Amino acid sequence: MSEKITKLTDFPYSNPGYGRKVAVVGVGSAGCKIAAQLSKESKLLEHFVYLSCDDHDIATITKGEKILVSATATGKSSPTHVRGLAHERIPELRQMLSDSDIVFIIAGLGGCDGSGLAPLVAREARSKGAVSVAVLVMPYIFEKPKHFFAGVALRQVRDLATGVIVIDNDELLAQDMPVIDSYALMNQKIALALNKLLGSTEQHEFSIGLNKVVEFVKSNSYSVMCVGDCQLSEYKQAVMEAAGHFSKIVDTSQASHSLVHLCTEKSITMKDLSASIGGLSGVLGTGSMQIEFGLSANSTTTTTAIIMATGFRTTKFDSYDPIDAALKVFAGNLEQDLDDSPRYESLLSDLEAE
Residue 111: which CATH number?
3.40.50.1440
Whole-number pLDDT of residue 352: 39
* Residue 52 lies inside a defined structural domain of this protein: yes
Of 184 and 328, which is predicted with more confidence?
184
For residue 28, is pLDDT > 90?
yes
Q: Are residues 118 and 183 in the same domain?
A: yes
140 vs 343: CA distance, rounded Å: 26
* 168 phi-psi bin (left φ>0, alpha ψ -120 to 50, beta other): beta
Which tens digit of pLDDT belongs to each residue from 75-128?
677 899 999 999 999 999 999 999 999 999 999 999 999 999 999 999 999 999
Q: Are residues 192 and 227 in the same domain?
A: no
Q: Are residues 82 and 180 in the same domain?
A: yes
pLDDT band at 347 (very low <50, low <70, confident <90, very high): very low
* Mean of the per-residue pLDDT values of the chain: 87
Whole-number pLDDT of residue 12: 64
349 vs 354: CA distance, rounded Å: 9
For residue 19, is pLDDT > 60?
yes
Contact 284, 316 (CB under 8 A): no
Of 142 and 182, which is predicted with more confidence?
142
* Residue 45 lies inside a defined structural domain of this protein: yes
* Residue 213 lies inside a defined structural domain of this protein: no
Q: Which domain holds residue 226?
A: 220-312
Q: Are residues 194 and 224 in the same domain?
A: no
* Residue 317 lies inside a defined structural domain of this protein: no
Whole-number pLDDT of residue 349: 42
> What is the value of pTM for the model shown?
0.89
53 vs 66: CA distance, rounded Å: 11
Look up the CATH number of the domain holding residue 230.
Answer: 3.30.1330.20
Of 213 and 352, which is predicted with more confidence?
213
Phi, psi of 85 (to 5 degrees): -65, -30
Whole-number pLDDT of residue 177: 72
* Residue 215 lies inside a defined structural domain of this protein: no
333 vs 324: CA distance, rounded Å: 8
Which tens digit of pLDDT belongs to each residue from 197-246?
998 777 888 889 999 999 999 988 999 999 999 988 899 999 999 999 99
For residue 8, is pLDDT > 50?
yes
Boundary-marking domain end, from 205, 236, 263: 205
Whole-number pLDDT of residue 200: 74
Q: What is the CA radius of gyration of the chain?
A: 20
324 vs 70: CA distance, rounded Å: 30
Q: Are residues 63 and 162 in the same domain?
A: yes
Average pLDDT over residues 283-298: 92
Q: Are residues 186 and 300 in the same domain?
A: no
b/e code 44-68 from CB counts within 10 Å (16+ = b): bbbbbbbbbbbeebbeebeebbbbe
* Residue 7 lies inside a defined structural domain of this protein: no
Average pLDDT over residues 15-38: 92
Q: Are residues 127 and 253 in the same domain?
A: no
Q: Are residues 129 and 96 in the same domain?
A: yes
* Residue 30 lies inside a defined structural domain of this protein: yes
Least Cα distance to 169 among 190, 192, 138, 191 occurs for 138
Percent pLDDT > 70 in the chain is: 85
For residue 336, is pLDDT > 80?
no
Q: Are residues 184 and 49 in the same domain?
A: yes
How many domains, the chain?
A: 3
Q: Virtual CA dihedral for 32, 337, 150, 80, nearest 10 degrees? A: 70
Q: Are residues 61 and 190 in the same domain?
A: yes
Q: Are residues 47 and 174 in the same domain?
A: yes
Q: Are residues 229 and 349 in the same domain?
A: no
3 vs 175: CA distance, rounded Å: 43
* Residue 318 lies inside a defined structural domain of this protein: no
